[in-house]
Amino acid sequence: MNFFIDKNSSVSIYQQLVSQITDKVQNGELPSGQKLPTVRELAEQTGIARGTVKHAYEELERKGMLKMTRGRGTFVQELATQNSSSKARAIAAIEDLLDEMEALSFSHQEIQMFFNLKLRERMERDNNVCIIFIDCNPETLANIINQISVFPNIEAHKLLLSDALKKPFVMDDFADLIVTTSTHAAQLGSVVSNKEKLIQVVTAPSGPTVAKMALISGKSVGIVCASETYSNIIRGSMQNLELSCKNVETYLFGSMVQLEVFLEYKDVIIVPNDYLLFCNRTEGDAIRKAEQQGKTVIRYNYQIDGGSLLNVQEKIESVQTARYL
């Protein structure tokens, strides 16, 4: 029966011993009825103080895992006794909480309401599907999350592609599903351990966005966004529509040049659908002012297509169903 104590660890020696004995009991290495070394024997074996060993044994006895009997020694409790002790501690904890809430003058009805509320919250949280959305620019991430957030019981997190490639363990350890655009699926597939988590979606400008852009030929256009990547996506859409616009320029939020000056001679302003997430107050005011002056402001909405969205929904439901099997 070996125990290893790391005296240089940030975990206390007492807690190391408690954890190791607990693990050995739970994995069956120390079965019910097994006698443990005496305090003196274990102290000599591990090179730690007898008081530390005694403290660990007493803690495990309080937890119902061990039984210390004078003259006989220390034994692993029968499983039924351990379970009974756990139930007793749970009931005692509830009693203490009830006493505290009654002392705060809450009625029994109010206490029951609080319990039901918090229990429901925990149940919903446990049923949430953790999805990490990954793309090379923040504007596309915002658009994708907006679309998928309509599905119930999801926990959405966004991650730029550059960060995801640096820290692939984040995806492996925390994500139930990983959603990315078809452009980046191959890159992520090379670093994600569980390929079944990875969902690629096809994105394109929405119908209303295309309809509005089709009317801007011959006009001066200002693209206002947070990243050059998103600006290039917008420019690509303009090329696909074969638009002949003049003086197409890009302004990135946070630039040194004042946005109001940049917009002065622009007829059309193309911004991300959720541009307020990326601009400061002054920049937001400049865009609103330009719109009030009669300039055309197009919110470029880059969306997941219907087939991809249905696939994501089916994957979410599959994860949720698997938890009940």
Shared-domain flag, residues 184 and 110: no
Q: Give, as one character, the DSSP assignment of residue 38.
A: P
What backbone torsions phi and psi does residue 225 show, to the nearest 5 degrees?
-155, -175
For position 196, which CATH number holds?
A: 3.40.50.2300
Shared-domain flag, residues 178 and 318: yes
Residue 62 covered by a domain: yes
| Residue pLDDT, tens place only, 65-90 | 888 887 788 888 876 555 555 666 77
Shared-domain flag, residues 188 and 318: yes
User: Rg (Cα) of the chain, in Å, rounded?
Assistant: 31
For position 246, which CATH number holds?
A: 3.40.50
| Residue pLDDT, tens place only, 267-313 | 999 999 999 999 999 999 999 999 999 999 999 998 999 999 999 99
For position 79, what pLDDT does the model report? 60
Expressed as residue numbers, the domain containing 190 is 128-204+309-322
| Residue pLDDT, tens place only, 124-170 | 666 678 899 999 999 999 999 989 888 888 888 888 999 888 888 77
**Cα–Cα distance between 37 and 17 in angstroms, integer?**
13
**Cα–Cα distance between 161 and 179 in angstroms, integer?**
11
Shared-domain flag, residues 175 and 313: yes
Shared-domain flag, residues 103 and 250: no
Shared-domain flag, residues 184 and 218: no
Residue 7 covered by a domain: no
Burial pattern 11-48, b for ≥16 Cβ within 10 A else e, equals eebbebbbebbbebbeeeebeeeeebbebeebbeebeb
**Cα–Cα distance between 66 and 81 in angstroms, integer?**
10
Residue 26 covered by a domain: yes
| Residue pLDDT, tens place only, 189-211 | 998 888 889 999 999 999 999 99
For position 44, which CATH number holds?
A: 1.10.10.10
Number of domains in the chain: 4
**Cα–Cα distance between 128 and 179 in angstroms, integer?**
16
Residue 98 covered by a domain: yes
Specify the 3-state DSSP secondary structure of 199: strand
Residue 247 covered by a domain: yes
Q: Give, as one character, the DSSP assignment of residue 37.
A: P
The sheet carrying 177-181 orders its strands as 154-160, 129-135, 177-181, 198-201
What tokens appear for 244 in the block? Answer: 């002949």
Shared-domain flag, residues 197 and 244: no
Q: What is the mean pLDDT of the chain?
A: 87
